Structure 1
Amino acid sequence: MNDNFDFDFDLDELAPAEPASEEAVERFWSGDLTALSQHHTTPNGSHSFVVAHDRSVTWGVPGEPQVMAIAVARDLTRFTFTLETSYHATVPFAQNWLVERGCPPEKIAKVRDGVKPVDDLTVWVERQIRESGTRYEILDNHTSDSDPSETWTLTRDSRTDEAPIRVFHEEWDHDAGTYTMREGAFADVDAARSWLDDRNGPLPPPPEYHGEVNSLRSRAALSRSAGAAAAPKPGLDAPRRPPAGPIRRPIQGRLM
């Protein structure tokens, strides 16, 4: 897959099935989109599912999500189509949105070359999000291109009454070409927002974490500690990241 991904969804011979799809296709512009993952059904090509990064968002309102999920469904008997899009802070939540619209999770899981998950715990948390169905109600999210380079998604877990507010925190290390994803559990929204504001300690792990997941957490913590001990001191031989540009975001609900 490359940056010149063709966003032509082969709709020339089809008509929009309803006004929302007509409006969506009129506003859809792929000039700032880079495809990260995609799946097209065969043999008749009735559905297309795409996860893309919208570069234009970095020039909009600070904090807005930059990952776009695109779902196209073609009715080849009626010669009509529907087109839906949705913005998300992270790729796994975009993938989850597509899975809920019929995309097999394993078909949209592979992401194009780029930054890599730093450990197995990141891979596990991302898979949990991707395959969670409607488990997590998204309450809020935030994306930062500057220091710290991160996203967070604030959710409510419908499957538990114990610490049901969950924060999914993603942090990028651009110098290393890696990122981490972690899940934290809180009793209520105020406690979660307090942690997001103060960052006074690690994310509290969900109470249901046990066995293999706790083993992954332990290995990740040891790896992080070893990496921190070996890191060069700032101001000496540590590489410096160039300052990030201004953050930009499209108007909510519009297709860029």
Structure 2
Amino acid sequence: MSNALDFRLDEFEPADVDSEYAEQRFWSGDLTVLAEHHTTPNGSHSYVVAHDGSVTWGVPGEPQVAAIKVARDLSLNTFTFESTYHATVSFAQNWLIEQGCPPERINRVGEDFMKPADDLTVRIEQQIRESGARYEVLDNQTSDFDPCETWTLTRDSNAAQSPIRVFLEEGDYDAHTYTMREGAFADEDAARHWLDDRSSPLPQPPEYRGEAAALRTRAALTRSAGASSIPKAGLNARGTPSAGTAQRPSPRRSM
């Protein structure tokens, strides 16, 4: 994937004034492609995630990741543009997937950009990408400098408890990696207070605690099952394992 922006609009004309303006704005901007997909074989649509460097010179805190959909009318040789801005790549990908882009075609980001620092980051980003209309974005903010972070304030329609969710992305320029974390709050005021204060850790969603407890339970059951599966008959009078038991592989630990 090249970082150069190419909407493949040769011989196509804008279908309306808005699309003409969008084409001019994006061509004259400072866009770096992060992920893209162009439909084949007919080339009727293009989906692009790009970083808009021109935003850094505008209003502080504005989102810098553009999600762009181009639709071509092959019979009329015209095109239309749709675009939105997001604080993070995963929310931009989510929007494009909702616009019809195949998820597997827009998920991969170029090799030159920051990488997820851990498995939890990968999991949360996948959760956002595949969430459909689950998260209503209430606000977001982007910081280029110290701290290097973005946050997206959302309302989770699937959450039975603490429905206000904050997705905090923090970058490490030295390591060329970033982390994404999810925080849960009872209401918007509590979330905004945390974002302003930061004197306590980001509160984990209730379902995380449930998942952790389930993992501990499964691990305990696995260890218990492994210990009890050694038959008592396999021990001789001196407590030494029989030949068959000695060769039996040890139980696997639950991951």
**TM-score where L is the length of structure 2:** 0.78
Question: Does the C-alpha gap of structure 1 residues 27 and 56 become closer, same or farther in structure 2, counting only changes over 3 Å?
Answer: closer
Structure 2 CA distance, aligned partners of 1:170 and 1:131? 18
1:108-119 counterparts in 2 under 5 A? 108-113=106-111, 114-119=113-118
Higher fraction of helix: 2
Instruction: List, as ranges, runs of 4+ consecutive aligned residues in structure 1 with deviation greater than 6 Å.
Output: 212-215
Match of 1:61 in 2: 59
Q: Output one character per residue of 1:1-51: Cα deviation in whole Å (capped at 9) or x when no partner.
A: 343x142x2324333334322332233325511101011110011110111
Deviations 1:60-81 (A, max 9, x none): 2111111111110112133332
Query: 1:106 offset after TM fit, Å?
Result: 1.2
- The separation in 2 between residues aligned to 1:141 and 1:18, in whole angstroms, is 30
CA contact (8 A) 1:33 1:54 kept: yes
Residue matched to 2:228: none
Q: Does 1:93 align with 2:91?
A: yes
| Pair 1:40–1:214, CA change in 2 (3 A) | farther
> Which residue of the partner structure matches residue 72 of structure 2?
74
Residue in 1 aligned with 2:17? 19
Relative contact order (alpha carbons < 8 A, sep ≥ 6): 1 or 2 greater?
1
* Greater gyration radius: 2
The answer to whether the 8 A contact 1:14-1:79 is kept is yes
| TM-score, L = length of structure 1 | 0.78
Q: Secondary structure in 2 aligned to 1:98?
A: helix
1:103-252 equivalence runs, <5 A: 103-113=101-111, 114-209=113-208, 210-211=210-211
Report the Cα distance in structure 1 between the residues aligned to 2:95 and 2:104, rounded to whole angstroms: 14
Please say if residues 5 and 32 of structure 2, whose CA atoms lie closer than 8 Å, have aligned partners that are also in contact. no
Give me the whole-angstrom Cα distance separating, in 1, the residues matched to 2:28 and 2:131.
29
In 2, are the aligned partners of 1:121 and 1:213 still within 8 Å (CA)?
no
For residue 27 of structure 2, give the secondary structure of its aligned residue in structure 1: coil
* Counterpart amino acid of residue 17 in structure 1: A
Partner amino acid, structure 2, of 1:129: I
| Matched positions, count | 213
Asked if 2 retains the 8 angstrom alpha-carbon contact of 1:144 and 1:150, the reply is yes
Q: Give, in whole Å, the separation in 2 of the partners of 1:179 and 1:112.
A: 15
Task: Please give the alpha-carbon distance, in whole angstroms, between the structure 1 residues aligned to 2:8 and 2:63.
Answer: 27
Q: Deviations over 1:69-110 (max 9, x none)?
A: 111011213333211111110000010111111011111110
Q: 1: CA distance between counterparts of 2:195 and 2:154?
A: 13
What is the match of residue 254 of structure 1? none
- Given that 2:184 and 2:205 are in contact with CA atoms closer than 8 Å, whether structure 1 keeps it comes out as yes
Measure, in 1, the Cα distance between the counterparts of 2:32 and 2:213: 33
Identity of aligned residues (%): 69
Q: Shift of the alpha carbon at 1:212? A: 7.0
Report if aligned partners of 2:45, 2:72 keep a CA contact under 8 Å in 1: yes
Secondary structure in 2 matching 1:211:
helix
Structure 2: segments with no counterpart, 5+ residues: 216-255
Q: Give the aligned CA root-mean-square deviation in angstroms.
A: 1.8
Note the C-alpha offset of 1:127.
0.4
How far apart, CA to CA, are the structure 2 residues paired with 1:186 and 1:31? 37
- SS of the residue corresponding to residue 208 of structure 1 reads helix
Change (3 A) 1:6 1:24: closer
Correspondence for 2:236: none
